[in-house]
Structure 1
């Protein structure tokens, strides 16, 4: 069964920075020893039942001063394997600086940018620079990966306003919007889905204290987004907090409500969204 994994991270601890992971205060994750090491394609290619046909690599703090270095490393490391890269670029940077950063990125690898705005950090999206920078992404057919706690009403309203102001921009909400079971998940998803240029990835649930049960989450996604704007992803190697890469994809397969459309959410949608 073919899959494209549209949200994972590879690490090269000796070549990159990764201060968030290797400094004296790393994330309080389970199985941190399994995560805090080098990770690459060889670690996930041989997965029973699933044939990995492409990946979307999400920036992982390799070098936030010169983020193009991470893409150059990926090109060297992955060779001919099909991939696209989401690079770091500060979404609220002064527009000329934003453009200069984009221009330094390897064009074949780059497909979009991510700048995490979780919790109250969503307020950075209120900067007048953001609209100009999103317009620059849209003009270059690049994607904005929006990572935030969209159960927060003000964060969600800000995202939706940006989506409607930039209708030609493709926006991908990461990690199921970091929604917890305690939040009004159906209504939140319905709001997000109301913007036709917003797609959503299901991943990263191991980072939540009270995640929505997988099968229930899938049913809610289909009921709100339909099947054409949903993508399943691993968040490897952070997923190792809970389970192996193979076990995660097996869980997705058994939990997806309609076996006939699993190929769409595990392969075809990512292929279309990221141009793989």
Structure 2
């Protein structure tokens, strides 16, 4: 099975989706499974992991409801208030939906560099671990330290790093990011998505060579069994087509055996998220 491990659906709302700025006009519209189906078919992608784009329990239910209508959705990464005193009650409610594989919070939007190690947040992570849910890490450089601390304190929790921690490809910054990747990859319970890179490059003038040192470093650090392909569709459309993003990911596959390629394009995602 070939799986896109990271994409989104939404019915566009200018207030709720204020992160979609005016220079992202291409995606200031609705995106639903019917808009993606033919793209998946033409690129031989069997299914996707639908990831939350807004932070509400309604968003999680929206993705669950879509999954009942579209078989392409193999798993959902929803949102739940991990800092709530009622987090276990909320998780108990969502546990009725087997399509929910894990949860995510948009940490990158949090100014607090220590958000990931707030006592209430760590309590929420413990609740995820108890129910064997995954957690997607979406961070910025200010969160590097607390990310490492959070992961270290939760060795039984399955984490995946979204978008390779969004390296600053446009300005070719590398060293601080690379050091963080090496430290994070040392934890065996952390996977990494080769996804979301094109929006970190020059949207109009990127080349495949721009991405290679970053992807190669992730492969060298995480190995071939803890990385997975993802597009970040439709966000990627501000800078590239779905096919472009697949071509960028394909630059990761230097010296990959046929079995390792299958793992990258879907096997690792299926194993991490528990997709059968």
Name the TM tier (shorter chain): 0.7 to 0.9
C-alpha contact (below 8 Å) 2:40/2:46 kept by paired residues: no
1:111 aligns with 2:101: yes
**Which residue among 186, 193, 201 is the counterpart of 2:185?**
193
Counterpart residue number, 1:102: 91
Q: Deviations over 1:96-140 (max 9, x none)?
A: x11122222242111111111116344322321122211111111
Provide the rounded CA distance (Å) in 1 between the counterparts of 2:195 and 2:4.
10
Provide the rounded CA distance (Å) in 2 between the counterparts of 1:88 and 1:55.
17
Change (3 A) 1:191 1:206: same
Provide the rounded CA distance (Å) in 2 between the counterparts of 1:203 and 1:226.
16
Counterpart residue number, 1:3: 2
**Within-5 A mapping of 1:1-276:** 3-13=2-12, 19-21=15-17, 26-30=20-24, 32-47=25-40, 50-61=43-54, 64-78=56-70, 80-81=71-72, 83-94=74-85, 97-105=86-94, 106-118=96-108, 120-149=111-140, 151-152=141-142, 155-180=143-168, 181-184=172-175, 185-208=177-200, 213-254=210-251, 256-260=253-257, 261-276=260-275
Provide the rounded CA distance (Å) in 1 between the counterparts of 2:104 and 2:231.
17
Provide the rounded CA distance (Å) in 1 between the counterparts of 2:35 and 2:232.
16
C-alpha contact (below 8 Å) 1:3/1:266 kept by paired residues: yes
Provide the rounded CA distance (Å) in 2 between the counterparts of 1:28 and 1:146.
26
Provide the rounded CA distance (Å) in 1 between the counterparts of 2:69 and 2:113.
34
Provide the rounded CA distance (Å) in 2 between the counterparts of 1:75 and 1:243.
26
Q: CA deviation at 1:170?
A: 0.2
Provide the rounded CA distance (Å) in 1 between the counterparts of 2:36 and 2:72.
14
Give the structure-2-normalised TM-score: 0.84
SS of corresponding position for 2:152: helix
Change (3 A) 1:88 1:47: closer
C-alpha contact (below 8 Å) 1:215/1:257 kept by paired residues: no
Provide the rounded CA distance (Å) in 2 between the counterparts of 1:228 and 1:70.
31
C-alpha contact (below 8 Å) 2:6/2:50 kept by paired residues: yes
Aligned positions, number:
262
Q: CA deviation at 1:259?
A: 4.5
**190-199 or 244-253, larger mean C-alpha shift:** 244-253
Give structure 2 stretches of 5+ with no counterpart.
Answer: none
Provide the rounded CA distance (Å) in 2 between the counterparts of 1:42 and 1:241.
16
CA RMSD of aligned residues (A): 2.5
Give the structure-1-normalised TM-score: 0.84
Change (3 A) 1:201 1:34: same
Give structure 1 stretches of 5+ with no counterpart.
Answer: none
